[in-house]
Amino acid sequence: MEEREETRKIQFTGKSSYIVSLPKQWIMELGLKQGDQIRMVRKGVSTLELYPPKFETRSQKKEDAVLEIESEEKAASIVRKLISLYFLGYKTINVKPKSGRLNPSQRTAVKEAVKKMLMGSEIISDSTGGITAQVLVNLLELSVDGAFKRMLHLTKSMSNDAILAVKENNLELAQEVINTDDEVDRFGFYIIRQLKIAIQNEHMLKEMGFRNARNCLGYRLVVKNIERTGDHAAFIAKDLLEFKKSVKKEILDKIQEMNEFCLGVLDDSCLALFKEDYNHAEKIIEKTFDITKYEKKIRDASRSLKDDEEIYRIRRISESIRRISEYASDIAEIVLNMNIEKALKKKA
């Protein structure tokens, strides 16, 4: 998104008015002419914004949405629509029956979705005639970077706890890992909502710290990779709940080493993202190839096993962990794409 700046003097006219001239080129590019109305907004103590009339509706924030539900509509369909409206930036979402009333399963689905998936949202009205959810959180109270860092921390904790649960045959801890996956998704949904709002509003884009709309797309892809990391931690926890027993200790120690390596490169790739460091991202991509050393250790340690079930479990667990290094490499590539122009300018 191109940003241009000019400095103009404030001039006094009449008895009580001040005027500022606008560059002729800007007026022509926006298709404005003498006599057109310009909407002026004062924000805080240091910001004035001007909105041409034909862009006014585009810049205005979406407030209310009405979601009409068919009497036989399934809960999963309702939740998907609810999440889509949340992504679009609506402040209030009214869920109403198209005819009759909401049945108990539909009401439960809406309330559970608001509670577990839509960060910053609360139910402010609930009856058989409809449910109203309102997004109460201020978009700038929790920044994209702040939400992302908390999401990353949760995901890393899930991965470590999943391995620990298998090591200790701790079913309660495994269930806690699975429950935490919902919290990771909540942060992911919240970040996507912010990114969509930023893309549609140039002022919000700058407030959130993005150079351009393309970087929002990069962040969206990064968030998806972090969500998938959490999913694989949950897969490991589900494996324990399914089989209800640990695996051989010496093999699990090798798996734990591999997990620590993968979380390390994931951390590094996210650090490169925050620092906008092209060279660091390149090094991370090279480093992720070292995953083969850890995979070989696990294969060597598994050769003495006779139990097909345990061999299958070890393969499945190590595959989930290997995916983390792949996601770290994907994030590093996104960092390269986001910062290639800046890197080339530095070399020039």
What are the sequence ranges of the domains in the chain?
11-59, 64-135, 144-347
Full DSSP string of 175-216: HHHHHHHHHHHHHHHHHHHHHHHHHH-HHHHHHTT-SSHHHH
Between CA 314 and CA 321, with CA 319 as vertex, the angle to 5 degrees is 100
CA 264 – CA 324 distance, rounded (Å): 10
Residue by residue, pLDDT tens for the chain (348 residues) are 455 678 888 887 777 788 888 888 888 777 788 888 887 877 655 678 777 765 544 444 467 899 999 989 999 999 999 999 999 888 899 999 998 899 999 999 999 999 999 988 999 999 889 999 998 865 556 788 889 999 999 999 999 999 999 999 999 999 999 999 999 999 999 999 988 888 877 777 777 777 778 888 899 999 999 999 999 999 999 999 999 998 899 999 999 999 999 999 999 999 999 999 999 999 999 999 999 999 999 999 999 888 899 999 999 999 999 999 999 999 999 999 998 887 777 766
**Using alpha carbons only, how large is the chain's radius of gyration in Å?**
26
Contacts of 240 (CB under 8 A, 6+ apart): 162, 165, 166, 169, 170, 171, 174, 246
Q: Give residue-wise pLDDT tens across range 57-68.
A: 444 446 789 999
The one-letter amino acid at 5 = E
Query: How far is the CA of 320 from the CAs of 200, 236, 303, 314, 324, in angstroms?
Result: 36, 7, 20, 10, 7
The pLDDT value given to residue 139: 53
Using alpha carbons, select from 62, 104, 112 the residue that is nearest to residue 85.
62
CATH code for residues 144-347: 1.20.58.220
Identify the DSSP state of 100: S
Model-wide pTM > 0.85: no
Q: Give residue-wise pLDDT tens across range 337-348.
A: 998 887 777 766
Looking at CATH, the fold of the domain delimited by 64-135 is given as Translation Initiation Factor IF3 (3.30.110)
